[in-house]
């Protein structure tokens, strides 16, 4: 695997470690919340949902801010500061004496967790426009691998105590920050930097330069629709699998690990060659068709083993994110990549706030009427809407913004 710039593997490692750090604490959160809050598991589940909401809201606000800061000061200092904040945050959470501390920790983690904007900006800085989608796929692959490793590692470390995974996450984040300080070069040339303005540091300001292009609004709408649909996995999978197949927590964990593995393989091995061969627009169409087929199949699945075949069928949906990111990144110049990626992060946070409520309520209503696949049916309909928008617009023929790529 050859990278365009030596900053890229360091950034990928940062995304991997960040995702491992997030996932490593998941297995112990229920027991930690019940012990600190002196509540039962039902109330602990609701409290965990509020924590996820606090995390998503913090990330929604912070995404464009960090993106614009990286356009002003460069990617390196923002990424280092974020990883240091992560490390300190997890260390504080390891010592948390009350639920309020845990909530504060989730807010800080949401702010620091907006690093995906600056990380993706590094890719845009150093990669030629026609190769960006494949490189964005590597970021998604790192996230998928981290999603597999994190919870598994957290489950093992939890044997040392419910706070041990937080200490491990803190060490990972601080170690990664140290590596960045020593080895990571800056990817944004000084001539491509621009002043930081608070009026641009929000989701509308982040996308303002895109509105001059007639293809931008449909792409952003498709990005939001896709993320709303894709959240059905995080929001409902464990509950749906329990209701539909009476799966144990272990079986649910194995199925999620399988999803993460398949998606990581697709992102790492197929995205680049496929987009290089058929282009971003067609790859986006293929990804949306694959995703819609998977959602509809899950809505009407009749046996647990079938879900694994369906996951393989839906795996080409991994083309969607990199193709969208590649198309959008060519619509702005090098001085706006941080703002764009931060805005996309905030768009994902909007989906993370809205979709879980929408999908869980749809699941509950479906169960009441004898159709537990209702949430996946809704997700499939959403993706069909996105597919119609992409098919109706010649998005792949969008003109690229004039730009240069930093050397390495």
Give the CATH number, domain containing residue 16: 1.20.1250.20
Check residues 156 and 95 and name the one with the higher pLDDT.
Answer: 95
Task: Please check whether residues 145 and 177 belong to one and the same domain.
Answer: yes
Distance between CA 317 and CA 140 in Å, rounded? 12
Q: Tell me if 261 is assigned to some domain.
A: yes
Task: Please check whether residues 114 and 159 belong to one and the same domain.
Answer: yes
Out of 13-22, 49-58, 242-251, 399-408, least confident range: 399-408
CB-based contact 295:384 (threshold 8 Å): no
**H or E element at residue 327:** helix 320-329
- The pTM score is 0.69
Instruction: Give residue-wise pLDDT tens across range 253-302.
Output: 678 778 878 888 888 788 888 888 888 889 999 999 999 999 999 999 99
197: exposed, middle or buried (C-beta count within 10 Å: 0-12, 13-18, 19+)? exposed
Can you say how many angstroms the Cα of residue 221 is from the centroid of all Cα atoms in its chain? 17
Mean pLDDT, all residues of the chain: 80
Q: How confident is the model at residue 233 (pLDDT cuts 50, 70, 90)?
A: confident
Q: Tell me if 406 is assigned to some domain.
A: no
Residue 361 pLDDT > 90: no
Task: Please check whether residues 224 and 155 belong to one and the same domain.
Answer: no
Task: Please check whether residues 139 and 275 belong to one and the same domain.
Answer: no
Residue 401 pLDDT > 50: no
CB-based contact 232:379 (threshold 8 Å): yes
Total Cβ atoms within 10 A of residue 100: 10
* Segments forming the whole domain that contains residue 293: 205-399
Check residues 272 and 375 and name the one with the higher pLDDT.
Answer: 375
Residue 5 pLDDT > 90: no
Instruction: Give residue-wise pLDDT tens across range 116-143.
Output: 778 888 887 888 877 777 777 788 778 7
Task: Please check whether residues 217 and 315 belong to one and the same domain.
Answer: yes
Residue 397 pLDDT > 50: no
pLDDT at 396: 44
Out of 8-22, 44-58, 176-190, 288-302, least confident range: 44-58
| Domain end position, chosen among 155, 185, 215 | 185
Distance between CA 297 and CA 36 in Å, rounded? 41
Asked whether the CA dihedral 293, 294, 299, 302 is positive or negative, the reply is positive
Task: Please check whether residues 351 and 219 belong to one and the same domain.
Answer: yes
| Domain end position, chosen among 150, 185, 220 | 185
Out of 27-41, 69-83, 250-264, 392-406, least confident range: 392-406
pLDDT at 315: 92
Out of 107-116, 196-205, 321-330, 341-350, least confident range: 196-205
pLDDT at 206: 54
Q: How confident is the model at residue 201 (pLDDT cuts 50, 70, 90)?
A: low
Task: Please check whether residues 77 and 128 belong to one and the same domain.
Answer: yes
CB-based contact 49:173 (threshold 8 Å): no
| CA neighbor of 193 nearest in space, from 120, 117, 121 | 121
**H or E element at residue 405:** none
Q: Tell me if 366 is assigned to some domain.
A: yes
Number of domains making up the chain? 2
Q: How confident is the model at residue 406 (pLDDT cuts 50, 70, 90)?
A: very low
């Amino acid at each position: 695997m050859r990278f365009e710039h030596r900053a890229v593997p360091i950034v990928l490692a940062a995304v991997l470690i960040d995702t491992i750090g997030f996932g490593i604490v998941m297995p112990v959160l229920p027991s930690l919340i019940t012990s600190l809050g002196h509540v039962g598991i039902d109330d602990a589940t609701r409290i965990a949902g509020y924590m996820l909401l606090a995390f998503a809201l913090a990330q929604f606000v912070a995404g464009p801010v960090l993106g614009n800061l990286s356009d002003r000061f460069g990617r390196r200092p923002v990424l280092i500061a974020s990883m240091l904040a992560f490390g300190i945050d997890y260390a504080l959470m390891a010592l948390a004496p009350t639920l309020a501390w845990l909530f504060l920790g989730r807010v800080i983690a949401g702010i620091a967790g907006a690093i995906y904007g600056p990380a993706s900006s590094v890719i845009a800085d150093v990669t030629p426009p026609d190769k960006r989608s494949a490189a964005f796929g590597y970021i998604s692959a790192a996230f998928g691998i981290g999603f597999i490793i994190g919870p598994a590692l957290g489950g093992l470390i939890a044997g040392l105590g419910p706070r041990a995974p937080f200490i491990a996450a803190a060490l990972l984040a601080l170690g990664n920050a140290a590596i960045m300080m020593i080895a990571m070069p800056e990817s944004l040339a000084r001539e491509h930097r621009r002043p930081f303005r608070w009026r641009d540091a929000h989701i509308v300001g982040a996308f303002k330069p895109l509105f001059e292009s007639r293809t931008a609004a449909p792409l952003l709408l498709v990005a939001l629709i896709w993320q709303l649909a894709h959240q059905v996995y995080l929001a409902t999978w464990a509950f749906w699998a329990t209701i539909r197949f009476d799966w144990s927590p272990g079986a649910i964990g194995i199925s999620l690990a399988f999803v993460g593995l398949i998606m990581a393989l697709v992102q790492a091995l197929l995205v680049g060659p496929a987009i290089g061969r058929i282009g971003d627009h067609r790859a986006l169409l293929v990804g949306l068709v694959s995703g819609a087929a998977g959602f509809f199949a899950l809505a009407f699945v009749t046996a647990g083993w079938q879900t694994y075949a369906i996951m393989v069928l839906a795996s080409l949906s991994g083309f969607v994110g990199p193709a969208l990111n590649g198309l959008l990144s060519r619509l702005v110049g090098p001085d706006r990549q941080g703002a764009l990626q931060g805005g996309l992060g905030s768009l994902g946070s909007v989906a993370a706030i809205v979709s879980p409520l929408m999908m869980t309520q749809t699941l509950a209503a479906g169960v009441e009427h004898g159709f537990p696949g209702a949430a996946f049916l809704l997700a499939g309909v959403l993706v069909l809407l996105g597919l119609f928008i992409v098919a109706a617009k010649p998005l792949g023929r969008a003109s690229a913004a004039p730009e240069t790529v930093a050397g390495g």
